Amino acid sequence: MVRKLAVAAAVTGLTLAFAASPAMAQKAAKKITFLTNYVFNGRHSPFFLGRDKGFYKEAGFDIEIQPATGSGFVISAVDGGKADYGMAESASVVQAVPKGSKVKGFEVYMDVTTSGLASLQPYPTPQSIAGKTVAASQTDSARVILPIIFSQKGLDPASIKWEAADPGVYFSLLLSGKADLITASYDGDVPALTKVAAAQKKEVHFASFADWGYDVFGYFLVARADQIAGHPDEVKAFAAATRKAVQYAIAHPEEAAQSLVKASPTLNYDTVLTQWTRSIKAIETPYEKEHGYGVATPDRLQRTVDLVKKALKIEAPVTAADVYATGLVTK
């Protein structure tokens, strides 16, 4: 009996040692940093929900989500190895590549842009803002998009009076009259700005870049080109986890908003929910329904590249393949 117990104990010990062996243990999740394009708002809810639900963990990632100050900042940080993944406006990516950036898109996060300009009086056309002061950070995607729109309309981009500012002071610049317009998003900024302005009995107006004829992709998920080429399975896993998070967040918007507010308690739940609900409209477009979430077709990619190159007078050779890696996301 004693011998049997000794053998059993020995076997148990071997079993525990085997299970605890580093070589045989489950591979640890890879720590990664993901940058949102801006300070946290409802648009970013799916990333936090995906983290809370374990979607990224299941895909092999221990994700840290950090805010940024614009698409240009995200591209520079990812290119410089200070972040693994990020989200950036497609036009900013097209502009950055011929300047030497090694960043590429690999998944369409948002099909159309929600970006535009907020003001306290209506500016219905691009012509109406010529000579007006527009507050935007140096890395804000509006500094790329607005000149494209002006070029399309035959207007001089030099007539835009840019006011360099940190996103944290946009609202105060507008409400104090120090800027005529601020770069803003319909889903992220306008709901919060409307609340602040209403307290001062002021009305917020919004001019959408999409309504002004800006017909290109909205936000890409981006990574370094060598990361995509060298570790396609990892990038594909990140894209799949994000897709799962987005689709779950669309089906459960309240839960998505709660995840973001839990991570950033200073945010207002109702505002975050409104923001994310508006973001959904820029995701669930006829194009997305036809081709599937996250997919970029070659023809639309080329149209995006051609439009940005023409408008910004980019003479350096740049193709859709330089800007975006296809095949990592399928319908």
Is the pLDDT at 8 greater than 50, yes or no? no
Strand ranges inside 229-273, DSSP E: none
CATH 3.30.70.3000 for domain 115-208 = no
53 band by pLDDT with thresholds 50, 70 and 90:
very high
pLDDT in the model for residue 18: 32
pLDDT above 70 as % of the chain: 92
How many CB atoms within 10 Å of residue 182? 26
Listed residue (106, 103, 85) closest to 94, CA to CA: 103
Residues 6+ apart with CB under 8 A from 155: 126, 127, 130
Per-residue pLDDT at 179 exceeds 80: yes
Q: Are 135 and 170 in contact (CB under 8 A)?
A: yes
Residue 139: pLDDT band (50, 70, 90) is confident
Taking residues 111-120, report their average pLDDT: 94
What's the pLDDT score for residue 28?
A: 86
Q: What is the pLDDT of residues 203-250, one digit of tens each?
A: 999 999 989 988 889 999 999 999 999 999 999 999 999 999 999 999
* pLDDT above 60 (res 185): yes
147 contacts 312 by C-beta, under 8 angstroms: yes
Q: Give the residue among 146, 136, 137, 141 at the shortest CA–CA distance from 71.
A: 141
Is residue 287 within 8 Å of residue 70, measured between CB atoms? no
In terms of Cα–Cα distance, which of 122, 120, 136 is closest to 176?
Answer: 120
CA pseudo-torsion sign 39, 40, 41, 42: positive
Percentage of the residues of the chain whose pLDDT score is greater than 90: 81
Q: Could you report the per-residue pLDDT of 91-107, keeping only the tens digit for each?
A: 999 999 999 999 999 99
Predicted pLDDT at 26: 54
Take residue 261 and report the two structure tokens written for it: 């507010």
- Tokens for 270, please give them: 């109702």
Check residue 5 and give its pLDDT.
37
Residue 278 has pLDDT above 50, yes or no: yes
Q: What is the pLDDT of residues 20-36, one digit of tens each?
A: 333 333 578 999 999 99
3 state DSSP class of 299: helix
**DSSP one-letter string for 137-199:** -TT-THHHHHHHHHHHTT--GGG-EEEE--GGGHHHHHHTTS-SEEEEETTTTHHHHHHHHHH
pLDDT of 64 over the 60 cut: yes
The predicted pLDDT at position 238 comes to 98
Question: Is 7 a residue whose pLDDT tops 60?
Answer: no
Class of domain 30-112+216-323: alpha beta
Domain boundaries, the chain: 30-112+216-323, 115-208
Average pLDDT, the chain: 90
DSSP label of 264: -
Distances from the Cα of 148 to the Cαs of 59, 92, 126, 172, 247, in angstroms? Answer: 38, 11, 11, 27, 32
Q: Is the pTM of this model over 0.75?
A: yes
